[in-house]
Amino acid sequence: MGIPWASYASPRTLLAGRTSPSGKGLLRPGVAQPPSSSAPDGSCPSLLAANRIDPDWADYQLSSSQRSFRRAGSSWSDTQLHGREVVWGHCPTASMKSSFSLLTPIRARDVRNRSYLEGSLLASGALLGAEELSRYFPDRNIGVFVATWNMQGQKELPEMLDDFLLPSDPDYAQDMYIIGVQEGCPDRREWEIRLQETLGPHYVMFYAAAHGVLYMSIFLRRDLIWFCSGMCRHRGGVCTGGGPVLRRPFFFVFFFFPAGDGKVDERVLDYNKTIQALGLPRSLPDTNPYRSSPADVTTRFDNVFWFGDFNFRLNENREVVEQILNHSCKTDVSKLLQHDQLIKEMANGSIFKGFQEAPIHFRPSYKFDVGQDTYDSTSKQRTPSYTDRVIYRSRHKEDIRAVKYSSCLAIKTSDHRPVYGLFRVKVRPGRDNIPLAAGQFDRELYLTGIKRRITRELQRKQALKNQKTSTVCSVS
Distances in Å between the Cα of 390 and the Cα atoms of 26, 146, 270, 298, 333 are 57, 7, 17, 15, 17
Residue 396: per-residue pLDDT: 86
Question: Whole-angstrom Cα distance, residue 332 to residue 325?
Answer: 9
Nearest 5°: phi and psi at 270?
Answer: -60, -40
pLDDT of residue 48: 38
What percent of the chain is modeled with pLDDT above 90? 47
How far is it, in rounded angstroms, from Cα 459 to Cα 469? 15
Of 147, 161, 217, give the one whose Cα is nearest residue 189.
Answer: 217
pLDDT of 217 over the 50 cut: yes
Cα–Cα dist 292/390, whole Å: 22
Of 174 and 273, the structure prediction assigns the larger pLDDT to 174
**Model confidence band, residue 449 (pLDDT cutoffs 50, 70, 90):** very high
b/e string for 268-285 if b means 16 or more Cβ within 10 A? bebbeebbeebebeeebe
Query: What's the confidence (pLDDT) of residue 336?
Result: 96
| Alpha-carbon distances, residue 408 vs 3, 52, 421, 436, 469 (angstroms) | 52, 41, 11, 35, 36
pLDDT recorded at residue 245: 61
Residues in the chain: 476
Average pLDDT, the chain: 77
Least confident of 111-115, 176-180, 318-322, 446-450: 111-115
Show Cβ contacts of residue 20 under 8 Å, excluding neighbours closer than 6 positions: 26, 27, 33, 50
Q: What is the mean pLDDT of residues 41-51?
A: 41
Nearest to 107 by CA among 4, 11, 10, 32: 4
The lowest-confidence range among 17-26, 336-345, 419-428, 450-459 is 17-26
CA atoms within 13 A on the CB side of 29: 17
pLDDT digits (tens, 9 = 90+) for 394-431: 988 889 999 999 999 999 999 999 999 999 999 877 66
AA letter at 326: N
Residue-range domains of the chain with CATH:
11-112 (no CATH), 140-449 (3.60.10.10)
pLDDT above 70 (res 284): no
The answer to whether the beta carbons of residues 247 and 429 sit under 8 Å apart is yes
Task: Report pLDDT digits (tens) over 57-95.
Answer: 444 444 444 444 444 444 444 444 444 444 444 444 444
In this predicted model, what pLDDT tens digit does every residue of 233-244 receive, in sequence order? 655 555 666 655
Predicted local confidence at residue 291, as pLDDT: 65
Element counts in the chain: helices (H) and strands (E)? 13, 10
Q: Whole-angstrom Cα distance, residue 430 to residue 427?
A: 9
Average pLDDT over residues 438-445: 90
Q: What is the tens place of the pLDDT at every residue in 129-188?
A: 677 777 778 888 999 999 999 999 999 999 999 999 999 888 899 999 999 999 999 999
Distances (CA, A) of 220 to 138, 227, 347, 355: 18, 11, 34, 24
Q: What is the pLDDT of residue 20?
A: 42
CA 316 to each of CA 265, 339, 340, 383, 384: distance values in angstroms, whole numbers, following the listed order:
17, 7, 9, 8, 10
Beta strands at 419-426 and 141-150: parallel, antiparallel or unpaired: antiparallel
**Is the Cβ–Cβ distance between 345 and 351 less than 8 Å?**
yes
